[in-house]
Amino acid sequence: MARIVQKYGGTSVGSVERIKHVASRIQRSKAEGHELVVVVSAMGKSTDELVSLATEITNTPSKREMDMLLSTGEQVTISLLTMALQEMGVQAISLTGWQAGMKTETSHGNARITDIKTKRIEAELSQGNVVIVAGFQGVSGSEITTLGRGGSDTTAVALAAALKASRCDIYTDVTGVFTTDPRYVQKARKLHSISYDEMLEMANLGAGVLHPRAVEFAKNYEVPLMVASSMVEEVGTMIEEEVTMEQNLVVRGIAFENDVTKVTVRGLPNRLNTLSKLFTALSENQVNVDIIIQNQYDDEHVNISFSITQSTLKETLAVLQNAQEELQFTDIYFEEELAKVSIVGSGMVSNPGVAAQMFAVLADNEVAIKMVSTSEIKVSVVVEEADMVLAVEMLHNAFQLAEEVEEAEIEAM
């Protein structure tokens, strides 16, 4: 008997039929003798629908009321799923975030989990119940909070850590983690496994399969994570510390995202505090900056470029214009419709020349690189959005990501 946390995403519980299907999967796991805690998302696109209801009333809803509203989505699912289980004769109980002891910070809309009081869940488990927990929500004092969009993954992993579960299985609408997004690249291949660090980079770089904070939790508490489909019976992808399989691959995956804008602030004074003044002004106004490049063009002046998401351009320009006198720049230049393409792999640490190969592949395909940033296990480039898919395909070929490693070879490693 193992203690297992399972999580089912919005698509997997998108209709009454699907909820019944999930219930029968849970019944099966329960019959195998496991102790089960199941975290669910809101049905289908219902969180989006709640958001649009709010925007029909106001463009500036209070964050507290948004949490009050959005937390109802998951509450619908937990009750219906529990009824479906009870209907099948499976003993089950639903718990909201606060009933499950999910304590968070006060910040509405993006609260971090601070502590989980597992007493209630433990008591329900020892009564023989399957415990169905509402994802994405918590409590701060007596206030309902939410963990940020996509946060149900984090609820599940955090619960797995707190309950010392032997694994956390994330069931979703894809069959696992792929080398790149299969909706864009036909040759994308499902990975047998990926390390926490690689998955964290992939998640942060726009691979939507897992919430980045969930991966962070899994890494910090060493929770073995599995991503698999709730609809297709197929082996998923394991996310764990030591990934010994497919060691021959230096690059394990390619992440990409569009809606990137590059902003260049020109003619700034070449002083020690220029960077700090510029980015303090931006951060004080909650502008999130990604890649940063500084160029000196004469003794007195520098240009600083940075990338942001498209949707924050207006705000960014307003912040800069307000601070022009203080920052003493001459003008601002920006380029829209860009995309970020990133190659990720732990093998890069010990293999020089990966970035060089990436640049060569892009140059050979006449893809212009606008910005570059690297970490130990990733290289990101900003390119024109029109080149994005081509760039990903070419890199996927060049780093041989489509090639299946023989099972025998894996066993032998």
Q: Find out whether 246 and 189 touch, Cβ atoms under 8 Å.
A: no
List Cα–Cα distances, 226 to 6, 17, 298, 347, 380, in angstroms. 9, 24, 53, 22, 26
Nearer to Mg ion, 49 or 284 (CB): 49
Nearer to ligand ASP, 152 or 307 (CB): 152
Nearer to ligand ASP, 128 or 208 (CB): 208
Residue 212 interacting with Mg ion (CB under 5 A): no
State the minimum distance, in angstroms, from the CB of residue 61 to Mg ion: 22
| Tokens read off for 227 | 């991503």
User: Could you give the string, one character per residue 58-97, with x where binding to ligand ASP holds by CB under 6 A and - elsewhere?
Assistant: ---------------x------------------------
Q: Find out whether 382 and 260 touch, Cβ atoms under 8 Å.
A: yes
Total residues binding ligand ASP (CB under 6 A) = 11
State the minimum distance, in angstroms, from the CB of residue 20 to Mg ion: 21
In 3D, which of 368, 351, 365, 370 has the Cα closest to residue 395? 365
Q: What is the C-alpha to C-alpha distance for residues 254 and 393, in angstroms, rounded to an integer?
A: 9
Residue 152 interacting with ligand ASP (CB under 6 A): yes
In 3D, which of 303, 275, 302 has the Cα closest to residue 289? 275
Q: What is the C-alpha to C-alpha distance for residues 261 and 308, in angstroms, rounded to an integer?
A: 5
User: Could you give the string, one character per residue 145-184, with x where binding to Mg ion holds by CB under 5 A and - elsewhere?
Assistant: -----x----------------------------------
- Member of 98, 136, 171, 256 binding ligand ASP (CB under 6 A): 136
Q: Which of Mg ion, ligand ASP, none does residue 274 bind to, with CB < 5 to 8 Å depending on kind? A: none
Across the beta sheet with 113-116, the strand order is: 113-116, 102-104, 137-140, 143-146
Contact range with Mg ion by CB under 5 A, out of 6-14, 125-133, 361-369, 380-388: 6-14
Nearer to ligand ASP, 40 or 320 (CB): 40
Residue 135 interacting with ligand ASP (CB under 6 A): yes
- Member of 6, 10, 125, 240 binding ligand ASP (CB under 6 A): 10
Q: What is the C-alpha to C-alpha distance for residues 115 and 146, in angstroms, rounded to an integer?
A: 14
Residue 149 interacting with ligand ASP (CB under 6 A): yes
Check the CA dihedral 167-172-174-175 and report its sign.
positive
Q: Which of Mg ion, ligand ASP, none does residue 136 bind to, with CB < 5 to 8 Å depending on kind? A: ligand ASP
Nearer to ligand ASP, 152 or 346 (CB): 152
Question: 216-220 long-range CB contacts below 8 Å, 24 or more apart?
Answer: 217/154, 217/157, 217/158, 217/161, 218/157, 218/160, 218/161, 218/168, 220/161
Q: Find out whether 95 and 121 touch, Cβ atoms under 8 Å.
A: yes
Contacting residues toward ligand ASP, per CB under 6 A: 10, 41-42, 47, 73, 135-136, 149-152
Residues at the site binding Mg ion, with contacts judged by CB under 5 A: 9, 150
